[in-house]
Amino acid sequence: MKLFSKIFPLGHFIISFMFVVCALALIILAILQLWHGLRFSGDNTPVQRLNAVLETIALLTVAVAALELGQTILEEQVQREAHMSAPTRVRRFLSRFMIVLVVSLTIESLVLVFRFSHDAPEQLPYAATVGLTAAALLAAWAIFIRLNRSAEELEPEAMAEAKREDDKVE
């Protein structure tokens, strides 16, 4: 059973590594997208150039999300070997994930608004839905943190242990 439990950190490390590889691939694609969109030797219109910049921002947003998720998995699951039982650890892990998700959705919403306002204004309600989803996730996250504080107060030793682990990782 102990051998089987040692497989999990290796699996988490591989997943974290794959997130980083995917993020690097997205960064390369974003550079290529921006280069092809902004070339002045081509016959791109200003609107096409704007769309290329917006697509680049969208790709970079997903790349940042992938990097953050890879880092979170590496730090929480591999370096700390955290088990999601203590409320402090759950809140920290979920908070890091939600930050990435809410920021990514918000940026994507802005990109969609800019794109749809020029190309397809009838699609703007869909962009607004993405923004509302980000707002709803932010509100749900705030409620979770508020409700989770009372559980954390019941286990002050878990908070102290998490802080000691933070010092080790840094």
For 34-79, write each residue's pLDDT tens digit.
998 888 777 878 878 888 888 899 899 899 989 988 988 888 777 7
Q: What is the DSSP letter of 84?
A: T
Q: Which residue has the higher pLDDT, 168 or 40?
A: 40
- How do residues 125-149 score in pLDDT, each as one tens digit? 999 999 999 999 999 989 988 887 7
- Torsion 83-72-133-150 (CA) sign: positive
Distance CA 90, CA 44 (A): 48
Distance CA 170, CA 138 (A): 28
Distance CA 38, CA 26 (A): 18
End-to-end Cα separation, the chain, in angstroms: 31
Task: Look at residue 128 in the predicted model and tell me its pLDDT.
Answer: 94
Task: Look at residue 7 in the predicted model and tell me its pLDDT.
Answer: 83
Four-point Cα dihedral 69, 70, 75, 78, nearest 10: 130
The SS3 assignment for 101 reads helix
- Torsion 69-75-81-87 (CA) sign: negative
- How do residues 119-129 score in pLDDT, each as one tens digit? 889 999 999 99
- 98 φψ region: left (φ > 0), alpha (ψ -120 to 50), beta (else): alpha
